[in-house]
Structure 1
Amino acid sequence: MSAVRSNLTSAQERQLCSLFGHVKLSLLFKGSVHGFNAGAFHAKCDIQGPTVVVAYNKTGFIFGGYVSKDYNQANQHIADDRAFLYSFKSDDSKQTPHRFTPRNTAQAFTNGTVGPNFGGLVFLHGNSTAVASSPGNFYNFEVNEMHGGDLVTTECEVYRVEDLGGLLEKPCRSIMWESEKRKELMDFVKSYKPIMNQVRQARVLLIGPIGAGKSSFFNSINSVFRGHVTSQAISGSAGTSLTTQFRTYQVKACRDGKLLPIVMCDTMGLEETSGAGLDLEDITTILRGHMMDRYQFNPTVPLQPDSPGYRKNPTLGDMIHCVVYVLDTCKVKLMSPKLLEKLAAIRRKVNLIGVPQLVLMTKVDEACQLVQQDLKEVYRSQYIERKLEEVALHLGIPRSCIVPIKNYCQELELDPNTDILLLSAVQQMLRFADNYFDDICLGEDHEEK
């Protein structure tokens, strides 16, 4: 199933966001996809914090309402002094949206089992595309300004409204953005040598949900060292994993240069449903070095010892030395409980084997407009700071193990600041791999004693 997309154009989204300030909209519910009924709405939108309803009709109106409180079907009138209704025409990008505040903030909306109920407007009325309109009930508005009398919607969407905040007075992490830093990081990666003589390259396993950017991360690192944007690993947007094989990717210092001392291992994307995406049993097989390059994943049956593609006697160099979880910054709060449970189960397996773990937060530029305008603000963004906290909380990983990055996705030329973030992430992976080797050395010393 393809990704659910917003009906809002970029101009319309800017008009809507002008009612809030510096915010990010995340699509939670779409009637044409999830169903024009109250049950589907509540399944997607309950306990999601501030939300805005966006309805469209054939007359060309975009209208709806905002609430800053949770929907939870409590069957009560909710006080919300930040709630409002709004409306604007879809074909007028310069129009300032009309904004209507509640007559009494103690009755801003009704938190019931029906669709979004603002008193004056009730969406998904009768579990259909209809809107019930009652000017003067909770809100005063003119029908011609609100919806033009057209009460049948062509689409109804609900978005989470996240306040992006501004910039921190001081960055939460210090980082140098000069060209010298980029060269220093590249030299570090090129000259790295595992402390174990029998290991030539550190092996890093990339794990993450579909579309988070695992394959794009390898392509981006490859691009940095090739000197131009490349696309060796299959990447893109799809409803199912584009990676169907276990792949071990090596990076050259330049087109004709020597191989770098790091191997990136790509896997199928994680999916919340059982029998789909990367199988949990395959994780252990990969960590212990049994899975060979180009093994074709079977989501319903994990790799067996007697199957083709199974390495019976792996060496230390075949094993995984660092696990990296790749998460889309824009979707951290949208991860389902089932997906979080699967990530927690993987974390437990990795912990038992004793492999260090790191998190990459991708698409930081898409997540925060301030970072999109200037990538160097990534550690000053209040929004990215909050996302670091959320990831640490959801995965139970220290913030020091979480690194925000931007992959090369649509660019044709390299950017020094993007390179510095990417190379900093690789540096951390190699340092974590050293921690793995240190533990092995300590264990060997203990056995000798």
Structure 2
Amino acid sequence: MSAITSRLTAEAREELSEFLGKVNLHLLYKASVHGFSAEVFHAKCDGQGPTLTVGYRDSYHIFGGYTSEDFGTDENKVDDKAFLFQLDYRRKFAVRPGTVAVHNSPYHGPSFGSSLVFLASGRWITSSPDQSYCLDDHVSFKNSVCLEECEVYRVEELKAPWRKVNWKNSNLIKSIQSYKLYRNTVAKGRVLLVGPTGGGKSSFINSVNSVFRDVVTNRALVGGEAITGAKMYSTYSIRQRHGASPPLILCDTMGLAEGTESGMHIDDVINIVKGHVPKKYQFNTASPIQADTKGYIKSPTIAERIHCVVFVIDASKPTILSPAMEQKIRTIQSQIAELEIPQVVLLTKVDEACPLVGKDLENTYWSEHIEQKAREVQRKLNMISSCVFPVKNYWIDIVCDHLTDILILSALLQILRYVDDYLENLDD
């Protein structure tokens, strides 16, 4: 059965957030799909905790009610948190304290006293003055109204965000542009992106470039491995449309594969980290680069070595890492750790992983699902939580978006700081 679609528009949700605060709305009942039936409503909505009922007289006249109490088939409920609303004029009607806010009965749907009764008779609602809600003569649901649609949502309160982010920060780009690496040891920090094929390595490089150019770019060939069999080691300096360019070089490689017959060889990853692999080197999955290979850099400078390794992992997959992939990455990690090079994880496709985030990226750090994904990868790869960053790449978009930029820039700034830590540690 296909997913049931909510009729609430993004604008309507934003207006409702003024009444409800930051919550997730989970659709329980849609009358046009499930039937304009009190019996079906009770089967789907009773005992669900706080709910929001939304009635659509037409596309403009939208109204309803909220209660923090369970629906049922008996027992009236006093609920001082309940209210009625009318979206066309952004009006909220509070319940009178101590009065009956919800009247439960098997013979009708959501009933907010007698002020607003849904499914009183099929599509019809009824409304009559009572002592429960502070209504006036200008409400759009007076008397009897025939509805086009009725929806009931479970209201899921979001706990405090698991990481604080300033979504209005306009100084992140400047902070990265003006960043001075430790004692100018190198002009630019070199960051290697590693991860399973399709995880979003190349897309992240394009996304970073897009943020600084303020247009969506595609310098790194996305999907190139799957389409063309590309096996080249590529490096990308980030160009800024205006002002200084960030002091970073992002390095792209083949994706990792579970078996040994395809994908990046572990020894090649370590050779890149140590600075032995030249730019544009064509990898051979069967045989890693050797000291006598043409172009092999025998005595790499600090500038040619990698200063931070970033593992790029798709958060939208049900199993974030297969056992074989987890083992391969752990093997790479152990060798990188011996070189004392910092490691970071980027969790990509968070908008696909969680519908709440897909609706609004500001929900990224409010999402329990994304937090669970971050903790899962943290546990599997033995990382500290401050080294795991959820991001959304520019993949479908053709116009830059401020919230997408914030996630990317927040991760990038922290990566830059870890590069700086590594360079400072070389002095000790």
What residue number does 2:158 align with? 168
What residue number does 1:415 align with? 401
Q: Distance in 2 between matches of 1:236 and 1:345?
A: 25
Q: Secondary structure at the match of 1:354?
A: coil
Q: Distance in 2 between matches of 1:334 and 1:198?
A: 37
Q: Distance in 1 between matches of 2:333 and 2:372?
A: 22
One of 215, 233, 245 as aligned partner of 1:228: 215
Please give the residue correspondences for 1:183-194 in structure 2 after superposition, counting only pairs within 5 Å: 183-194=170-181
Alignment pair present for 1:280 and 2:270: no
Tell me: CA distance 1:167–1:388, structure 2 relative to 1, closer, same or farther (3 Å).
Answer: farther
What residue number does 1:110 align with? none
Please give the residue correspondences for 1:51-200 in structure 2 after superposition, counting only pairs within 5 Å: 96=34, 168-178=158-168, 181=169, 183-200=170-187
Please give the residue correspondences for 1:27-46 in structure 2 after superposition, counting only pairs within 5 Å: none
CA contact (8 A) 2:275 2:306 kept: yes
What residue number does 1:372 align with? 358
TM, length-normalised to structure 2: 0.63
Please give the residue correspondences for 1:300-315 in structure 2 after superposition, counting only pairs within 5 Å: 300-315=286-301
CA contact (8 A) 1:292 1:309 kept: yes
- Alpha-carbon offset, residue 275 of structure 1: 2.6
Deviations 1:250-271 (A, max 9, x none): 11121x7654210000010010
- Alpha-carbon offset, residue 236 of structure 1: 3.1
Q: Secondary structure at the match of 2:336?
A: helix
One of 219, 236, 240 as aligned partner of 2:206: 219
Q: Secondary structure at the match of 2:248?
A: strand
CA contact (8 A) 2:342 2:419 kept: yes
List alignment gaps of at least 5 residues for structure 2.
Answer: 7-31, 41-154
Q: Which amino acid aligns with 2:258?
A: E
CA contact (8 A) 2:320 2:377 kept: no
Q: Secondary structure at the match of 1:199?
A: coil
Q: Distance in 1 between matches of 2:298 and 2:268?
A: 15
Deviations 1:410-437 (A, max 9, x none): 1111100000000001101101101101
What residue number does 1:253 align with? 240
CA contact (8 A) 1:241 1:277 kept: no
- Alpha-carbon offset, residue 193 of structure 1: 2.0
CA contact (8 A) 1:241 1:268 kept: no
Alignment pair present for 1:347 and 2:333: yes
Alignment pair present for 1:358 and 2:358: no
Q: Secondary structure at the match of 2:182?
A: coil
Please give the residue correspondences for 1:200-219 in structure 2 after superposition, counting only pairs within 5 Å: 200-219=187-206
What residue number does 2:425 align with? 439
Deviations 1:334-362 (A, max 9, x none): 52211111011011011011100000000
Tell me: CA distance 1:13–1:436, structure 2 relative to 1, closer, same or farther (3 Å).
Answer: farther
What residue number does 1:147 align with? none
Q: Secondary structure at the match of 2:198?
A: coil
CA contact (8 A) 1:324 1:357 kept: yes
Tell me: CA distance 1:245–1:166, structure 2 relative to 1, closer, same or farther (3 Å).
Answer: farther
- Alpha-carbon offset, residue 196 of structure 1: 3.8
Tell me: CA distance 1:418–1:323, structure 2 relative to 1, closer, same or farther (3 Å).
Answer: same
Q: Secondary structure at the match of 1:230?
A: coil
TM, length-normalised to structure 1: 0.60
CA contact (8 A) 1:288 1:319 kept: yes
List alignment gaps of at least 5 residues for structure 1.
Answer: 1-11, 18-93, 99-164, 443-449
Q: Distance in 2 between matches of 1:207 and 1:245?
A: 13
Tell me: CA distance 1:278–1:250, structure 2 relative to 1, closer, same or farther (3 Å).
Answer: same
Tell me: CA distance 1:408–1:16, structure 2 relative to 1, closer, same or farther (3 Å).
Answer: closer
CA contact (8 A) 2:225 2:254 kept: no
Q: Secondary structure at the match of 1:245?
A: coil
Tell me: CA distance 1:168–1:369, structure 2 relative to 1, closer, same or farther (3 Å).
Answer: same
Please say which of residues 321-330 and 237-246 is displaced more in the overlay.
237-246
- Alpha-carbon offset, residue 439 of structure 1: 1.2
What residue number does 2:385 align with? 399
CA contact (8 A) 1:202 1:321 kept: yes
Q: Distance in 2 between matches of 1:275 and 1:315?
A: 32
Q: Which amino acid aligns with 1:348?
A: S
Q: Distance in 1 between matches of 2:181 and 2:306?
A: 13
Q: Which amino acid aligns with 1:14?
A: A
- Alpha-carbon offset, residue 168 of structure 1: 3.1
Query: What's the % identity of the aligned pairs?
Result: 40
Q: Secondary structure at the match of 1:441?
A: coil
Tell me: CA distance 1:217–1:329, structure 2 relative to 1, closer, same or farther (3 Å).
Answer: same
Deviating 4+ runs (over 4 angstroms): 94-98, 237-243
- Alpha-carbon offset, residue 331 of structure 1: 1.9
Q: Which amino acid aligns with 1:221?
A: V
Tell me: CA distance 1:166–1:251, structure 2 relative to 1, closer, same or farther (3 Å).
Answer: farther
Q: Distance in 1 between matches of 2:229 and 2:320?
A: 21
What residue number does 2:249 align with? 263
Q: Distance in 2 between matches of 1:279 and 1:168?
A: 43
Q: Which amino acid aligns with 1:174?
A: K
